[in-house]
Amino acid sequence: MESTYIYVPGLWLYIVSTVVLLMFMTAQVPRIHLPLSKRIFWVLFTAFLWNFFLILEFMVSTIELKLLYAKFQYIGIVWLPVTWLALVVELSSYRFSKRIFAVSSIPPVIFLIFIFLVPQPNAFWGIPTLEDTSLFPMVNFHYGPLYYFGFLPFSYLMALASIVVLWRNYGTDHVHYVRQKLLLTFVLLLPGLTNLLYNFNLSPVRGLNLSTATLTVSGVLFYIILYRNSLLDLLPVTREQIVENLDEAVLIFNPQKRLIDFNHSAAKLFNLGRNSIGTGVEEIGVKELTHRLENLQDAESKTLALMQGLVYDLSLNFVRDPSSEFCQAIIVTLRDITQEQLMNQRLQILAERDSLTGLYNRHTFFFRSKELIKTNPRVRIAAIMIDLDNFKAINDTYGHAYGDLILQTIGEALLALASPTIVAGRLGGDEFVVMTTEQDLSDLASRLSKKVYDRLNVVVKEGLNPTLSVGVSSLNLASCTVEDPLEYLLNQADLAMYQAKRGGKDKIVFTGDFIPG
């Protein structure tokens, strides 16, 4: 079976096609662990086999070698429709059962048995003859009924199934995806239509099958369609993972942090449109979102984002390959929790504050006072106990509503004085207390009394002259020997306050190591 290999004019088209296919195959190797890249690789490989051995068929002169290379071509040709379908299924995230794929693999196996093992002539093809009816010496294989009524219908049926799966399951109704589906349909149909023209002797170049060349064009278009927005390793996610009418905004990014899908709420929130597919996360304009996607190791942490005056809870979920745990897509959900935050703040205020005056309640006052003592272990600290004189008489004479107004007024005055060095609270009834690390207690007590009296004068009724009895106790923590400084200070301030009452009321009594000037 001696033969020579001769380059013939016009063969460059098929050589370029083969080189292009080989380049695309090589580009998939680094990402071969991804299911989508694996399916792309097998489509390209079957097309490469067809191209490569077609070139060899054209170059040799003996009909025996031409037949041998034609047989090798058919390894790629018969499996190409199956790999196309498998690619579209993976692209659309639609799942066929393994049984369906197994059944679809039976016809290619039958065709290859006739091609390689059954002597010619057989049901697939007859005895080949050499005909010089084109740019190259062509082989007429005298195809039989298995070719026309088996292989061709099978190939076109698989192409049709691929198109149906594509339109029913790929992407969303966004204009971007509709455009992709139209182009992908063209890609799927182009080689098939070219082959159909060849089989019915309608090829633009008589007797020449241009299917391999158009298949390469389809491959180039396929890359342009899927990766036009730099969406390398793009993985479209099924629409079942995005409920379009969710109140939550949902964004889906590929591993390269580029947007591949979003729902209606996200479109409204971020003003997204059909040209937003492929947008980088930083272009969304939410620094909290960018930080989360750039620091996926912190993905479990809770993140709040402030947008348009509203508070959003930002959470991430990952779509992983079940076999490799490789992250295929990142689903970002943003939920408006503004009302929840306001409610939590209200609940926190109710838990910490006295509902009437707004001052710290008894529990929170003790907690904050202990913090103040703990953070200032070397200074003098003081407790100021304040009691409204004759409060029962005010309630009895003017009513409890007016009595509450008096208490609220005192609370407002003490809140106005609150600072990092002053903790103010209401212990109950008409008893108020202040814990402070300010050193000039005489000045503070005077300012406190003046602030309260100024406020009371605004709401006081004619003939009423409310007064305060104030007890002040102080302790130098640096030389303190008592076990519980807070309890000691409050007891001493309480005693001083009652001493002021017994002394005629409307007085300030000091006790402890502070001596007023």
| Residues annotated catalytic, as ranges | 430
Produce one character per residue of 99-127: b if its CB has 16 or more CB atoms within 10 Å, e if not: eeeeebeebbebbbebbeeeeeeebbbee
User: Measured between alpha carbons, how far is 164 from 85 in angstroms, rounded to an integer?
Assistant: 10
Torsion of CA 129, 130, 134, 136, to 10 degrees: 140
Write 394-400 long-range contacts (CB < 8 A, 24+). 394/464, 394/466, 398/461, 398/464
Cα–Cα distance for residue pair 235/36, rounded to 1 Å: 7
Regarding beta strands 431-436 and 468-476, do their DSSP bridges make them parallel or antiparallel, or are they unpaired? unpaired
Query: DSSP states of 212-272 as a string?
Result: HHHHHHHHHHHHHHHHTTS-TT-----GGGS-TT-SSEEEEE-TTSBEEEE-HHHHHHHT-
Whole-angstrom Cα distance, residue 5 to residue 3? 7
Structure tokens at 88: 């579209």
Strands (E) located in 73-174? 129-131, 138-140
Rg (CA), the chain: 42
Place of tokens 């070397």: 378
d(CA 139, CA 112): 19
Distance CA 304, CA 311 (A): 7
| Tokens standing for residue 273 | 């449109």
Name the DSSP letter for residue 148.
I
Here the tokens at position 389 are: 């004189």
Secondary structure class of 73 (helix, strand, coil): helix
Pairing of strands 138-140, 380-388: unpaired
